[in-house]
């Protein structure tokens, strides 16, 4: 027994050092002292001696840095260079683009939660709030989604003019160029509010402020290009589009087949250096109405007119619509959401060299330009539109479920509907927190390459779930399209957000963990970068430092994951209040588990992990849900820890943690080296899978919150257009909701009398009059029931049409006429 206890004491000391991430020297000292004391106290001298020999045999060589580098690190460096796959130039550029924010802490296995909570609370300034209360509110009042989607297949002319006049296209353009120079949060808020009224309007405003000429010009344009284009873009004198996707290059933008040849051509009697372009683009938002086209293509210089390279690589240019040979104007029709979107083509289109964004010096730099800018735009546009959509679903579905009666009971009371309402409320809480967190990261100066992918993927996927649940709750009301239907178009448009700016399948399986594992890991990128150092001594020194930091990091995460799993995440320093402290501890556990699994997967599979997309996707899910959960906790703190929000936070948090557990379980279960998988399962799940989805009881509380007025519902509806105007059915439903709830006890009295046969008439209005005469209800109560019944009837009604109204005004033959040449 003394032998076992001595060994156990030494292991506990080593484990404690690993858990707290002490230095190698501290570990050696602590372990040796513990072994000596345990051996003496337990009278186990031989065990003590053997343990000391083992400990010193490990510690001494590792503490002799010069010896360690020559005898251990040098051969490992040679082997590492052989097995590490060489990064392509495009992969290297993607990794170097962007910055690492708090997601790096989540990958560390020991997040600094105080650093998260020290981040400033995101908030609109006075000018931005005035814009939300003024032009944005006014624009929402002008939007009629049925008119836009069915009658015009476009925004009305007065809406286009209003958008331009009030600089909606200039939110990211600095004031010195006559733009609004809004924060990313304000940009997000504007898009969210517009999305609650018209996805078409939101998309139209989003594109010029996202990946497009303005953003590219701000970062890379020449001064002459900035001075000419940016003021014109800010006020809508120029409508921009950016053409990247083609038939053979979508998510894989580096496979562009569009090309340009540097050449000289006589223009107006003058020999001009320029580019002859051939391109075929599709899915280009705003292309049909664009006056200036941003174009991505591969540039070749066979005569070496710009330098000594023949293949310069991906390059970006700005083409005026009037460019001879540019074919533009026809439209795609994306799932009945008619934002301007279409193809553009050109063959042997000659443009002067000055059209290159940034001038000739930026030739071949297009891929770097794109990946650096795309992360910022992707962090705002689609997450904001998706957040507006799910917030709108809370407003409409929560109110509708309280108004709509079946079997004499509001359908919000049915458990099946409660389940859907709970998902709508909980996922909206998570989506709003995620969207705000990524906007705040941009405002802090970050270029969130990894978290923008997380935000794009998960906000749109949550939007897909919420849109489906909203359709289910509304039933036939949402199926019948028409002016009264506020849910159908949102459901139709879901696949658009899923597909654009990086298809979700690709984003999940390739980008989130693929970039996160290297960008966020504290040592992997340093080890890989060591291979590029030409000086051997410096290379070995850098690699040695990273390697042994990595080894200690891996051991620490193994101990932390096992310890926190063994204790049910009940120990450890953390942040938060008495309510949320357990949540932070839970995330500590899964952060350590992610870091451990990522290290093991990369270490065992090496470069093959790139092709194990399902494993990468699952590990990316864990990183994503860690980030979403941390965003929710930060949002809860920023809101002042409102007690009313706790059911929403709890539901969304338990959903995230359950999904994390299942993703880790799936990754470990499918790991191809089974003995390694078995060991990981013991370390990560010592007592098996213990997390569960949100309970029915918790779901009932969330459903109740979103189907009744209150501060929690109000916070979920931030930046939703709720003014009860004629064009805003959801706003009028929201305004009626307090009266609907006030009428419920009166309805129960009325129903009781009705069931008792006290009324002679079968007409509802006449029965109300009888009820008043019999003293069942008062005159005020009668007026309330009548008013609510009339209003609710409008909201549950659907449209019908004459057949002639549904026929297309333009035949297919008309639609297939050849594209005109601009």
Q: How far apart are CA 534 and CA 540, in angstroms?
A: 10
3-state secondary structure of 349: strand
In Å, how far are 382, 436, 620 from 459, measured between CA atoms? 8, 11, 15
Q: How far apart are CA 20 and CA 559, in angstroms?
A: 10
In Å, how far are 405, 762, 783, 794 from 410, measured between CA atoms? 4, 22, 20, 17
Q: How far apart are CA 206 and CA 211, in angstroms?
A: 9
Tokens of 557: 């995460």
Neighbours of 772 (CB within 10 A): 17
On whether the CB atoms of residues 320 and 292 are closer than 8 A, the answer is yes
Q: How far apart are CA 63 and CA 72, in angstroms?
A: 12
Q: How far apart are CA 198 and CA 69, in angstroms?
A: 62
- Closest by Cα among 687, 678, 431, 419 to 564: 687
Q: How far apart are CA 403 and CA 437, in angstroms?
A: 34
DSSP 8-state code for residue 356: B
On whether the CB atoms of residues 731 and 725 are closer than 8 A, the answer is yes
On whether the CB atoms of residues 349 and 325 are closer than 8 A, the answer is yes
On whether the CB atoms of residues 402 and 417 are closer than 8 A, the answer is no
Q: What is the DSSP string of 257-290?
A: --EEEEEEEEETTEEEEEEEEEEEEEEEETGGG-
On whether the CB atoms of residues 219 and 369 are closer than 8 A, the answer is yes
- Closest by Cα among 328, 239, 400 to 737: 400
On whether the CB atoms of residues 148 and 198 are closer than 8 A, the answer is yes
On whether the CB atoms of residues 171 and 190 are closer than 8 A, the answer is yes
Angle at which helix 779-796 crosses helix 366-403, to 10 degrees, equals 140
On whether the CB atoms of residues 177 and 230 are closer than 8 A, the answer is yes
3-state secondary structure of 406: strand
Q: How far apart are CA 356 and CA 275, in angstroms?
A: 9
Q: How far apart are CA 679 and CA 685, in angstroms?
A: 10
b/e per residue, 358-397, with b = 16+ CB within 10 A? bbbebbbbbbbbbbbbbbbbbbbbbbbbbbbbbbbbbbbb
Q: How far apart are CA 341 and CA 130, in angstroms?
A: 31
Catalytic site residue 215?
no
> Helices marked H in 691-797 — which ranges?
696-706, 711-716, 729-755, 764-773, 779-796
**Burial degree of 604 (CB within 10 A; 0-12, 13-18, 19+):** middle
Q: How far apart are CA 705 and CA 292, in angstroms?
A: 48
Torsion angles phi and psi, residue 807, rounded to 5: -75, 145
Report the half-sphere exposure of 775 (CA within 13 A, side-chain side): 0
**Burial degree of 501 (CB within 10 A; 0-12, 13-18, 19+):** buried
Which position among 128, 215, 461, 501 bears the catalytic label? 501
Please list the active-site residues. Answer: 501
């Amino acid at each position: 027994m003394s032998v076992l206890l001595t060994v156990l004491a030494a292991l506990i000391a080593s484990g404690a050092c690993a858990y707290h991430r002490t230095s190698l020297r501290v570990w050696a000292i602590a372990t040796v002292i513990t072994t000596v004391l345990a051996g003496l106290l337990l009278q186990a001298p031989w065990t003590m001696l053997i343990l000391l020999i083992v400990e010193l045999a490990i510690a001494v060589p590792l503490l002799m840095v010069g010896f360690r580098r020559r005898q251990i690190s040098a051969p490992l460096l040679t082997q590492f260079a052989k097995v590490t796959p060489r990064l392509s130039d495009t992969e290297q550029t993607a990794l170097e683009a962007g910055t690492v924010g708090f997601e790096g802490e989540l990958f560390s296995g020991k997040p600094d939660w105080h650093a998260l909570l020290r981040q400033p609370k995101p908030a609109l300034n006075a000018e931005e709030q005035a814009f939300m209360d003024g032009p944005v509110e006014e624009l929402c009042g002008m939007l009629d989604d049925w008119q836009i989607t069915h009658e015009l297949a476009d925004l009305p002319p007065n809406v286009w003019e209003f958008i331009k006049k009030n600089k909606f296209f200039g939110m990211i353009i600095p004031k010195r160029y006559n733009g609004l120079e809004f924060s990313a949060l304000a940009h997000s808020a504007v898009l969210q509010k517009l999305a609650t009224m018209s996805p078409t309007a939101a998309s139209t405003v989003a594109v010029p402020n996202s990946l497009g000429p303005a953003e590219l010009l701000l970062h890379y344009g020449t001064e002459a290009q900035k001075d000419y284009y940016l003021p014109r873009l800010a006020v809508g004198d120029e409508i921009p589009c950016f053409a990247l996707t083609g038939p053979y290059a979508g998510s894989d933008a580096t496979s562009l087949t569009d090309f340009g040849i540097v050449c000289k051509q006589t223009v107006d009697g003058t020999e001009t250096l320029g580019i002859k372009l051939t391109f075929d683009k599709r899915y280009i938002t705003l292309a049909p109405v664009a006056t200036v086209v941003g174009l991505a293509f591969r540039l070749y210089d066979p005569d070496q007119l710009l330098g000594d390279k023949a293949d310069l690589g991906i390059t970006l240019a700005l083409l005026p619509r009037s460019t001879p040979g540019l074919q533009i104007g026809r439209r795609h029709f994306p799932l009945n959401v008619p934002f301007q979107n279409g193809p553009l083509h050109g063959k042997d289109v000659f443009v002067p060299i000055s059209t290159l964004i940034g001038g000739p010096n930026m030739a071949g730099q297009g891929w770097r330009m794109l990946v650096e800018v795309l992360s910022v735009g992707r962090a705002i546009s689609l997450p904001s539109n998706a957040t507006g959509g799910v917030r709108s679903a809370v407003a409409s579905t929560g109110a509708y479920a309280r108004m709509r009666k079946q079997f004499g009971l509001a359908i919000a009371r049915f458990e099946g509907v409660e389940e859907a309402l709970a998902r709508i409320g909980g996922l909206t809480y998570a989506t709003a927190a995620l969207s705000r967190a990524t906007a705040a990261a941009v405002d802090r100066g970050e270029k969130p390459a990894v978290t923008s992918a997380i935000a794009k993927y998960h906000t749109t996927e949550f939007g897909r779930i919420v849109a489906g649940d909203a359709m289910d709750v509304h039933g036939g009301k949402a199926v019948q399209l028409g002016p009264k239907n506020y849910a159908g178009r949102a459901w139709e448009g879901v696949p658009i957000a899923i597909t654009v700016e990086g298809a979700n399948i690709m984003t999940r399986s390739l980008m989130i963990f693929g970039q996160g594992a290297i960008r966020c890991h504290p040592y992997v990128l340093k080890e890989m970068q060591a291979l590029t150092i030409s000086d051997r001594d410096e290379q070995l020194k850098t690699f040695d430092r990273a390697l042994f930091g990595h080894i200690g990091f891996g051991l620490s995460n193994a101990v932390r994951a096992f310890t926190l799993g063994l204790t049910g995440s009940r120990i450890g320093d953390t942040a938060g209040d008495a309510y949320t402290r357990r949540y932070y501890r839970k995330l500590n556990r899964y952060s350590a588990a992610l870091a451990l699994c990522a290290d093991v997967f990369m270490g065992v599979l090496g470069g093959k992990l790139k092709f194990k997309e399902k494993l990468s996707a699952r590990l990316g899910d864990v990183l994503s849900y860690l980030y979403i959960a941390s965003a929710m906790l930060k949002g809860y703190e920023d809101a002042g820890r409102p007690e009313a929000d706790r059911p929403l936070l709890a539901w969304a948090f338990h959903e995230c943690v359950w999904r994390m557990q299942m993703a880790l379980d799936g990754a470990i279960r499918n790991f191809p080296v089974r003995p390694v998988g078995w060991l990981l399962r013991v370390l990560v799940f010592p007592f098996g899978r213990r997390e569960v989805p949100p309970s029915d009881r918790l779901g009932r509380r969330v459903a109740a919150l979103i189907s009744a007025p209150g501060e929690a519902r109000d916070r979920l509806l931030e930046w939703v257009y709720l003014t009860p105007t004629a064009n805003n059915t959801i706003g009028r439903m929201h305004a009626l909701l307090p009266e609907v709830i006030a009428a419920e006890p009166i309805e129960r009295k009325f129903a009781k009398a009705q069931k008792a046969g006290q009324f002679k008439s079968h007409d509802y209005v006449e029965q109300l009059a009888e009820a008043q005469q019999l003293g069942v209800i008062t005159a005020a109560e009668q007026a309330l029931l009548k008013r609510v019944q009339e209003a609710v009837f409008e909201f549950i009604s659907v449209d019908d049409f004459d057949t002639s109204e549904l026929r297309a005004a333009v035949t297919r033959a008309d639609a297939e006429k050849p594209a005109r040449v601009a």
